[in-house]
Amino acid sequence: MDMLQSYLRAVRRYLPRAERDDIVAELSEDLRSQMEARGAALKRSLRDDEQMELLKAYGDPMIVARRYRHKGMSLSIGWELIGPELFPMYLIILGLNCALAVGVGLAVLLFIHQPLNLTVLLRPALIQVVCVTLIFTILNLVRRKCPQPWYYPPAELARMLPIPHWVSISGLVVWSAFTLWWTGVPLFPRLVLGPAFGYLELAPAWHRFYLPILLLLAAGIAQRVVNLVRPSWNALLPATRLFINLIALGLQYPMIKSYPYVVVRAGATDLMHAHQVADAFNGTILWGILSWLWAYHLISAAVYAWYCVPHLRRPAQRLARATGHEHTLDGIV
């Protein structure tokens, strides 16, 4: 029962540490008995889709774990930003992202033999806090409106779930807006430089990486359009995201090495001020974005690779069974 084990592991992730083993044992016994009873009634073993229906009826692993948390923690400032069901996963992802952001910043400073700078180390972590909190606040709002979807289903179960329409639509809105902005940057550098456009300009590095990034954005939009029309094609999401994140990860090193990203225009009048603003832009791009973005792509690639495994495992198992059957026949003959 791979699906049951995957489900139990997902519930365990959100349970209080001291009670995990006892609760999981109780859930395992209950769910196994239900599956066996259903199988006895049908006089056969349950198919994957039948197991999935039973697990869906039992509930989202986050919701199930919430029943056993005596004091559910949440994030609120007058109103609830992140509810108690999402809060354990919020802490896991926030802690991982902040640790990586600070760790990468420290490694880069040591590698380039620069003195340790608390601002440089904390800026990426602060960006992570803002971004992760914003994402989970949006998820919390969606959960109130649409309580049914599983937001972080185990990989073994995700292959049985269609892609929710809100996932495709929200992705289309966000990435279409970003793609339009990126498309307009070469024509309207003011989109990046703002008021500094009069004395700053984009360095050649932008032109080298403009098209690859645009193609990755287009691939992400295409995946969301297809899944909006065909939500049952759930293997497309992890496969496309894995490909995009691996390519983006490969672009990180040459992008970091392409420093600076903004230069002073020829003929700028106040050169001292122009260089100060250019340094601020370059520092923000390097330390505020690129210094931790590779870690994001690495983590995302690992997550989506894990989600791809069940989609590959089933055909491999069928092929192995077919091959074994052929060998058996050959041996008998």
Q: Is residue 333 predicted with pLDDT exceeding 90?
A: no
Least confident of 10-24, 113-127, 246-260: 113-127
Together in a domain, 176 and 28: no
Answer for the pair 22, 68: CB distance below 8 angstroms, yes or no: no
What's the structural domain count of the chain? Answer: 3
Question: Average of pLDDT values for 147-169?
Answer: 78
Question: Average of pLDDT values for 266-287?
Answer: 87
Together in a domain, 182 and 322: yes
List CB contacts of 53: < 8 A, sequence separation 6 or more: none
Question: Average of pLDDT values for 237-250?
Answer: 95
Q: Is residue 110 predicted with pLDDT exceeding 80?
A: no
Instruction: Enter the tokens of residue 258.
Output: 């392409």
Question: Average of pLDDT values for 225-235?
Answer: 94
Question: Average of pLDDT values for 171-175?
Answer: 90
List CB contacts of 195: < 8 A, sequence separation 6 or more: none
Domain boundary among 148, 175, 198: 148
Give the domain extent around 21. 2-66
Q: Is residue 305 predicted with pLDDT exceeding 90?
A: yes
**CA separation for the pair 48, 204 (Å, rounded):** 53
**CA separation for the pair 278, 298 (Å, rounded):** 29
Highest mean pLDDT among 111-115, 204-208, 241-245, 295-299: 241-245
Together in a domain, 166 and 246: yes
- Nearest CA to 205 out of 250, 245, 253, 267 is that of 253
189: which DSSP letter? Answer: T
Q: How many other CB atoms are there within 10 angstroms of residue 213's CB atom?
A: 17
Together in a domain, 201 and 55: no
Answer for the pair 225, 163: CB distance below 8 angstroms, yes or no: no
- Compute CA 290 distance to the chain's CA centroid, rounded to the nearest angstrom: 17
The whole-number pLDDT of residue 331 equals 42
Place of tokens 């802490």: 91
Q: Is the peptide bond before 186 cis (omega within 30 degrees of 0)?
A: no
Residue 53 domain flag: yes
Least confident of 82-86, 111-115, 146-150: 146-150
Question: Average of pLDDT values for 76-84?
Answer: 71
Q: Pick the more confident residue, 211 or 13.
A: 211
